[in-house]
Amino acid sequence: MAGPLVEARDLRRTYRVRPPGLRGLFGGSEERVALDGVDLDIHAGERVALLGANGAGKSTTVKLLCGLLAPTAGRLTVAGRVPHTRRAEHVRDLGVVFGHRTQLWWDLRVQDGLDVLARLHGVRDGGAQRAALVDALDAGPLLERRVRELSLGQRTRCELVAALQHRPSLLLLDEPSVGLDVGARAALRRAVLAACEQTGATVLLTSHDLGDVRAVCDRVLVLQEGRLVHDGSMREVVARLGGQRRLRVRLAEPLEAPGRLRDALGPAVLIDGVMVELGFSGAAPERVSQVSAAIEAAGGQVHDLVLSEPDLDAVLARLFEEEGA
Amino acid sequence: MIRAALASLGLGLRLSLAWRLDVLTRLLSGVVVLVLTGTLWTAVTDGRTEVAGRPGPELVAYAVMAWVVARVSATPIDAELGERTRTGALVHDLLRPGSLILHLWARDVGRALIAVVTTAAPLAAAGVLLFGVGLPRAPGGWLAATLSLALAHAVGVGLALCVGAIGMRVGRADGLVHAKGIVVALLSGALVPLDVYPGYIREVARLLPFAALADAPADLLVRGVALESAMPVLAGQAAWALGLLGLATLGIRSVRGHAVARGG
C-alpha cells in the first residue's frame, strides 16, 4: 500500500462528563477533551511508541484505532478503512494485547483458546502462522496448559500468539509489560521483536516502561493533554529536553591537581577521590577522548570508564511537567 | 457468520465442561429442588382431583418439568456482561469480528446443550421415576416441546442481554440481575406454577416474557401438545424472543461507546 497504514488528520475526541453531586444531576454535563487535533502518519512496518502521562489521551487513541470509539471530529483511517464504520472488517486485520487482560479463556487450554480465536477471525490457514509464532516466542510447552495455570509472563507470550495468528497488519500493545518482573519483561521485549520480525506487523506500543520503548520502538509519539507534542526518535526527545549521557571514570589513583581537571572540563565535573563524573550531550567518542586527554594532562591515569545513557524516565517526566505547566 | 457462531457454540460447550465439580453441583442442587418441588406439589394436590383447573398429577408434572426447563433457559449472560464491563474485559469481546450478541447467544447455546445433557435430562429422568411425570409419546409432542425449549432459551438470552446492556451503561447491575432472578423464579413458573396464582395475576403473568421461559415449554411437555396445536404458544415465545433480542441489540449498540470510554 502506497500511503501510510495509519493516517489521522485533526483527530479530535471529546467526552461528556457529568460533574459530581447535584450540579451533575441538574446542571447537565461538561465537555472534556481527550484528543485535540492530532495529526499522525504511521507507515507499514514501523514500531511506534505512544507515550504520555495518565489522561494524556493514549487509551483514547488506542480505542479509536481499534474502532471501539468514533472520533468527535477529524479523520482516522487504518489501511484505508475508517475503523469505527467498518469495525468487523477492521478487527480482522488488527491484533491487540492489553496488559493484565486476556483474550484467551481462563479455563481452556491455550491451544483450544487459540483455535476458537482463529475460527472467530475466520482464519483458514492459521496453522503455519501459529506454528511459526509459537516457535519464535518459545510458547510450545504452554499450549497444552490451561490459561489459569500460566504465569503472567507466559500468558503474555500466548496473548502475542493470539494477537498475531490471524496475520494482522497492525498490532496494538497497550501496557503489555505491566505487572511483569524484570526477567519476564526482557523476555517479552525479545518476544515482541521476534514476533514483529516473523510477521512484519506494524506496532503501536503504549507503555510507562521506557525500557519497553527503547527495546521495541524506533519512533516515539508523545501526547500531552490530548495534543501530539513530539513525533520523532527517542534520541530526538532526549536531545530536545537536554537529557545528558553520563561518563564515569575510575582513576588508577587520586589526582594530585584536581583543579586543573576542573579547569579543563568545566565546573560541572564531579571529582571524588578516584572517581570523576560528568554529563554531556553530543557524540560520545569525541567527549571520551577529550576527558581522557584532560585527565592525563592533570597527571591522572584512567583505570576504567562507564558511559550511561540518559535517564529516560527523568527526561519524560520533565517533558510532561513542562507541557503540563 | 455461521462459522463464527459455531466457534462460539463450541466455546460454550468447552467452558461449560471445564469445571466438572460445578456440573455435579448443579445436578445435585437441581435434584434437591426437584424433590422438594415434587413433594410439595404432591402434598398440595393429594386427595384433590383438580387444583387450579389442572388434574393433580399434571400439576405436579408441570411443577417438576418447569424447574427442569428453567435449568436450560436461565443464562448467566447478564451478570457476566456487567462484570466484563466493570473489569474492562468487554473490550476483547468487542474486538472480535462479528456480532457480540450472536457470539454470546451462540456461546450460551453451547452452555444450554451441556445443561440439557448433564442437568435437564437426568432431572427429567428423576421426575419420571420419583413423581411419575408423563412425557410426550408422539414425535409431534417432542418436536413442539423442543422448539418451545429453544425459544425459551432465546427469550432467556434476550432478557439477559437487555439487563446486561443496563449493566454496561451503569457499570454495576448486580441488584438488577438479582431482582430479575427473583421475578423470573416467581413469574416464569419455574418455582410456582402460574396456574395457582389468583386469576388476574395469572393472566398478567402469562402475558409477560417470563412465562415464555418455563411455563410454555413445561406446559407443552406435560400435556404432550402436538405441533399444530402448539403454534400459538410457539408464536408468542418467538415474538418475545425477537422483541427482546431486538431491544438488546439497540440497547447494547447505544451503550457500547459508553462502556468502552469508561476507564483506561
pLDDT of residue B102: 92
Point out the residue among B7, B10, B92 whose CB comes nearest to the CB of A101. B92
| C-alpha distance from residue A105 to each of A57, A112, A270, B115 (Å) | 29, 9, 56, 20
A107 with B89: Cβ contact below 8 A: no
Point out the residue among B19, B87, B91 whose CB comes nearest to the CB of A107. B19
Please check the confidence at residue B145 and state whether its pLDDT lies above 90.
yes
Q: Which helix (H) or strand (E) holds A159?
A: helix A152-164
Cβ neighbors of A227 (< 8 A, separation 6 or more) are A36, A37, A38
Which pLDDT tens digit goes with each residue over B90-131? 888 888 888 889 999 999 999 999 999 999 999 999 999 999
Distance in angstroms between the alpha carbons of the first and the last residue of chain B = 31
pLDDT of residue B61: 93
What is the rounded radius of gyration, in angstroms, for the C-alpha atoms of chain B? 19
Class in CATH terms, A244-309? alpha beta
Q: How far apart are CA A233 and CA A229, in angstroms?
A: 13
Architecture of domain A6-239: 3-Layer(aba) Sandwich (3.40)
User: Which 3 state secondary structure label does DSSP give A207?
Assistant: coil
Give the position of cell 436461565.
Answer: B74
| pLDDT, one tens digit for every residue, chain A (325 residues) | 568 999 999 999 998 877 777 666 666 777 888 899 999 999 998 999 998 888 888 888 998 999 888 999 999 999 999 998 988 889 988 999 988 788 999 999 999 999 999 988 888 756 788 888 888 888 889 999 999 999 888 898 899 899 988 888 999 998 888 887 887 788 888 888 888 888 888 999 998 777 888 888 989 998 888 899 888 887 777 776 666 778 888 988 888 778 888 888 887 788 888 888 888 776 777 888 888 888 888 888 888 888 877 666 677 777 666 655 4
pLDDT of residue B254: 85
A120 with B103: Cβ contact below 8 A: yes
Q: How far is B240 from chain A (nearest CA, A)?
A: 28
Q: Using a CB-CB distance cutoff of 8 angstroms, which residues of chain B are in contact with residue A117?
A: 96
Who wins on pLDDT, A128 or B152?
B152
A116 with B7: Cβ contact below 8 A: yes
Q: Name the phi and psi angles at A7, rounded to 5.
A: -135, 120
Are A46 and A111 in contact by the 8 Å Cβ rule? The answer is no
Using alpha carbons, select from A221, A222, A204 the residue that is nearest to residue A63.
Answer: A204
Point out the residue among A66, A89, A105 whose CB comes nearest to the CB of B95. A66
pLDDT of residue A82: 94
Q: How far is B146 from chain A (nearest CA, A)?
A: 28
Chains A & B: contacts with CB separation below 8 Å:
75
Q: How far is A313 from chain B (nearest CA, A)?
A: 21
Residues of A with CB under 8 A from a CB of B: 15, 54, 59-60, 63, 66, 68-70, 88-89, 91-92, 94, 96, 98, 101-103, 105, 107-108, 112, 116-117, 119-122
Q: Using a CB-CB distance cutoff of 8 angstroms, which residues of chain A are in contact with residue B10?
A: 116, 119
Q: Which of B16, B90, B92, B262 to mutate to test the interface with A (most CBs of A within 10 A)?
A: B92
Using alpha carbons, select from A225, A169, A161, A166 the residue that is nearest to residue A188.
Answer: A161
The DSSP line for chain B is -HHHHHHHHHHHHHHHHS-HHHHHHHHHHHHHHHHHHHHHHHHHHTT-SEETTEEHHHHHHHHHHHHHHHHHH---HHHHHHHHHHHSTHHHHHTSSS-HHHHHHHHHHHHHHHHIIIIIHHHHHHHHHHH------SHHHHHHHHHHHHHHHHHHHHHHHHHHHHHHHHS--HHHHHHHHHHHHHHSSSSS-GGGS-HHHHHHHHHSGGGGTTHHHHHHHHHT--HHHHHHHHHHHHHHHHHHHHHHHHHHHHHHHHHHHS--
Q: How far apart are CA A176 and CA A217, in angstroms?
A: 14
Are A47 and A202 in contact by the 8 Å Cβ rule? The answer is yes
Using alpha carbons, select from B71, B20, B113, B61 the residue that is nearest to residue B223.
Answer: B61
Q: How far is A59 from chain B (nearest CA, A)?
A: 6
Q: Using a CB-CB distance cutoff of 8 angstroms, which residues of chain B are in contact with residue A98?
A: 88, 91-92
CATH 3.30.70.1560 residue ranges for chain A: 244-309
A112 with B14: Cβ contact below 8 A: yes
Model pTM? 0.81
Q: Using a CB-CB distance cutoff of 8 angstroms, which residues of chain B are in contact with residue A105?
A: 11, 14-15
Q: How far apart are CA B114 and CA A8, in angstroms?
A: 47
CATH 3.40.50.300 residue ranges for chain A: 6-239
Pairing of strands A73-78, A302-308: unpaired
Per the document, the length of chain A is 325
Grid cell listed for A303: 583505570
Q: Using a CB-CB distance cutoff of 8 angstroms, which residues of chain B are in contact with residue A122?
A: 3-4, 97
Grid cell listed for A162: 493470539
| Amino acid (one-letter) located at B225 | V
- In this structure, the dihedral spanned by the alpha carbons of residues B29, B31, B36 and B42, taken in order and rounded to 10 degrees, is 160
Q: Which helix (H) or strand (E) holds A324?
A: helix A312-324
Q: Using a CB-CB distance cutoff of 8 angstroms, which residues of chain B are in contact with residue A108?
A: 11, 14-15, 18
Q: How far apart are CA A40 and CA A62, in angstroms?
A: 13
> Cβ-count burial of A291 within 10 angstroms (0-12 exposed, 13-18 middle, 19+ buried)?
buried
Q: Which of A120, A148, A166 to mutate to test the interface with B (most CBs of B within 10 A)?
A: A120
pLDDT of residue B169: 82
Q: Which of B96, B102, B114 to mutate to test the interface with A (most CBs of A within 10 A)?
A: B96
Q: Which long-range contacts (CB under 8 A, 24 or more apart) does B1-4 make?
A: B1/B98, B1/B102, B3/A119, B3/A122, B4/A119, B4/A120, B4/A122, B4/B97, B4/B98, B4/B102, B4/B103, B4/B106
| Amino acid (one-letter) located at B45 | T
Which pLDDT tens digit goes with each residue over B223-262? 888 888 999 999 999 999 999 999 999 998 888 777 766 5
Q: Using a CB-CB distance cutoff of 8 angstroms, which residues of chain A are in contact with residue B261?
A: 15, 60, 63, 69
How many other CB atoms sit within 10 Å of the CB of residue A254?
Answer: 12
Which pLDDT tens digit goes with each residue over B31-78? 999 999 999 999 998 888 888 888 888 999 999 999 999 999 989 999
A96 with B95: Cβ contact below 8 A: yes
pLDDT of residue A24: 65
Q: How far apart are CA A226 and CA B12, in angstroms?
A: 41
Q: How far is A80 from chain B (nearest CA, A)?
A: 18
What is the rounded radius of gyration, in angstroms, for the C-alpha atoms of chain A? 24
User: Which residues numbered 77-136 in B keep a CB inside 8 Å of some CB on A?
Assistant: 87-89, 91-92, 94-98, 103
